[in-house]
Structure 1
Amino acid sequence: MQISKRSINDTLEKQVRGMWYQLIADTKTSGEAQLVFDELLTETETTAISKRVAVAYWLSKKRSYENIKQNLKVSSATIASVQQGMDRAGWKLALRRVMADEWATKWNGKIKDWLKR
C-alpha cells in the first residue's frame, strides 16, 4: 500500500490516529488482536512490526547484531534503528509488556507443574 503524498488537515489526522490508537487499546486478548490486525495489516506490515519488536527484545537480552541478523533475517540498519529508539518511552513500554508476558508465562508453567505434584 502506498501512502498518498497529499496530507489531510491536522484535525482530521488527529481523529484518524485517535481511532487507530483506541482500536489497539480496545483489543482484549492476543487472539482478538491477531484477528483484527491480520485483516487490517498486510503480511509485510505485520512481519516488519513483529521483527522490530523481536529485535528490541533480543537486544535487551544482549544478543549480538550478528545473531539477530542471522535468526530474524534483518539488516544491521534495522537493528541500529531499533536500538537507537529503545531509550524512548514507547519502546520502553513495549518491552516492559513483552517481558511481563514472558514472566507470567514462565510462572504459570511453574505453578501448573507444582500443582500437579
Structure 2
Amino acid sequence: MLLQDVAVDHLRKDKKISDLPLEEQLNISDAKDTEKEFFKEEQKAELYSAMKRLNPDYYQVLYLMYFEDLDASDIAKIMHKAKRQVSDLIFRARKSLKNELERKGFVYERY
C-alpha cells in the first residue's frame, strides 16, 4: 500500500480533521509548500547575489562557514590566517552582508 493511500485512509476515518473534501485538503497543502519553497529559493538567490558583492575575503569566509560548514579553525588553515583573524573577519563579513541586504530591501522571514 502506498504512503499516500495510507494517509487518505486515515483522513477518511478521522472526520474531526476538517470539513473540507480530501481533494481540497491535499491541494491546500501543496500550494502552501510550493509557495514556501519558491520564497526560500528567492531568498537564497538574493543572499548569494549580495554575498558576491562583498569584499572577496568576506565572501570566502561566509561561504566556507555557511555553505561548506567549516569552523573557524578549518577556515583559518584554508585562508592562511590566524584563528583570531578569521573570527574578526566573520564578524565584519556578517555586518557587511547585513548592511548590503538591508540596502537592497531584503526581508528575512522564517519558515
Same fold (TM over 0.5): no
Structure 2-normalised TM-score?
A: 0.31
Which structure has more relative contact order (CA 8 Å, sep 6+)? It is 2
**Highest CA radius of gyration, 1 or 2?**
2
